[in-house]
Amino acid sequence: MAAFTPRVFSGIQPSGGLTLGNYLGAMKRFVTMQDEGKFETVYCMVDLHAITVWQDPAALTRATRELCAGFIAAGIDPSKSILFNQSQVAEHAQLAWIFNCVARMGWMQRMTQWKDKAGKNSQNASLGLFAYPALMAADILVYHATHVPVGEDQKQHLELTRDIAIKFNNDFGVDFFPETEPVIEGAATRVMSLRDGSKKMSKSDPSDMSRINLTDDADTIAQKIRKARTDPEALPSEVDGLDERPEARNLVNIYAALSETTPEAVLADHGGSQFSAFKPALADLAVDKLAPISTEMSRLMEDPAEIDRILAQGAAQAREIAAPVLKKTYEIVGMVGA
């Protein structure tokens, strides 16, 4: 295997607000990987992915800027990480076309996200939604990224990314694309709905009470946690006691991730507590950690020109890495003029 520069890539869709799930499952960990200094870090607002389902143009523009503000407010520093929106680096779409020709229809058909999002009416879904994972593989591999931090729901897409890299390398007899490692770690790789512990917390859930949005103010955050669905039992003192208690497990995991500890440590402190005591403690912690992000996001959103400047600068930096990788790919494939 060739030696690759340790490089992190990850992306978030600008398709509506950011949730606590995005923050704990992705963004907060992006910041840690940036600050560890072991990797080059590249973070992307994946607007081309967002339009695989209908997006109102003005709303997409706003959501992209708001997502950029969210990244910065959460601790991504544009002088340490490359921060940009996907459509501005054409190499993503160009490599995606090559990968559309490497990936197989059967691979795409097996993707659970495709099945969930296309639903029963798959004939009416966009072609882009079907090809979504090949674009995702291109996002990652156009940077020869070695590590990709994501939440649990993206695991299957990352396996497919590896399959595409392996097939490309085999088909062309090269050792060119890395087999990227997913980084799915910590207490909150799958944050669940506050209303139903068997469903993922999601920006598309019709109930706003099911999620915490990064734009929620302190009172709203506290109210959503107070009203979160729970069972009547006290918290156990061991994690085994959370089996069959998905709502309790979810709140313990959220507490652990926000306070950068483990569920075991949370239960060592709070085992035996009733939810009437644990929920206010969690609400205080959540407000403490999240309200400053929301305030900073609003401040940054007052200067959209500055956000656009940061994104343009990030896109220029991203192109410097992506362009030579695409050129080499074209050469390998046999494109004249590459």
Question: Active-site positions?
Answer: 117, 200, 203
Q: Which amino acid makes up residue 28?
A: K
Give the count of residues interacting with ligand TYM (CB under 6 A): 26
Token representation of residue 141: 């591999």
Instruction: Report if residue 186 touches ligand TYM, rule: CB under 6 A.
Output: no
* Among the listed residues 62, 80, 167, 190, the single contact to ligand TYM using CB under 6 A: 190
* Among the listed residues 51, 72, 140, 318, the single contact to ligand TYM using CB under 6 A: 140
Q: Which amino acid makes up residue 6?
A: P
* CB contact set of 184 (below 8 Å; sequence gap of 6+): 149, 150, 151, 152, 154, 155
* Among the listed residues 60, 72, 95, 150, the single contact to ligand TYM using CB under 6 A: 150
Write the DSSP assignment of 263-311 as a string of letters: HHHHHHHHTT--HHHHHHHHHHHHHHHHHHHHHHHHHHHT-HHHHHHHH
CB 206 within 8 A of CB 41: no
Touching ligand TYM, residues 14-73 (CB under 6 A): 21-22, 25-26, 46, 49
* Among the listed residues 11, 197, 236, 314, the single contact to ligand TYM using CB under 6 A: 11
Taking the alpha carbons at both ends of the chain, their separation in whole angstroms is 25
- Candidates 122-130, 150-158, 225-233, 305-313; binding stretch for ligand TYM (CB under 6 A): 150-158
CB 160 within 8 A of CB 137: yes
Q: Which is nearer to ligand TYM, 201 or 235 (CB)?
A: 201
- Candidates 184-192, 226-234, 273-281, 320-328; binding stretch for ligand TYM (CB under 6 A): 184-192
Q: Which is nearer to ligand TYM, 138 or 235 (CB)?
A: 138
> In this chain, which residue has its C-beta nearest to ligand TYM?
25
Instruction: Report if residue 98 touches ligand TYM, rule: CB under 6 A.
Output: no
DSSP secondary structure code for residue 26 in this structure: I
* Ranges assigned E (strand) in the chain: 7-12, 40-45, 82-85, 147-149, 181-183
- Considering only CA atoms, give the Rg of the chain: 21
CB 218 within 8 A of CB 291: yes
Q: Which is nearer to ligand TYM, 169 or 250 (CB)?
A: 250
* Among the listed residues 55, 146, 189, 329, the single contact to ligand TYM using CB under 6 A: 189
Residues lying near ligand TYM in the complex (CB under 6 A): 9-13, 21-22, 25-26, 46, 49, 136, 139-140, 148, 150-151, 153-154, 157, 188-191, 200-201
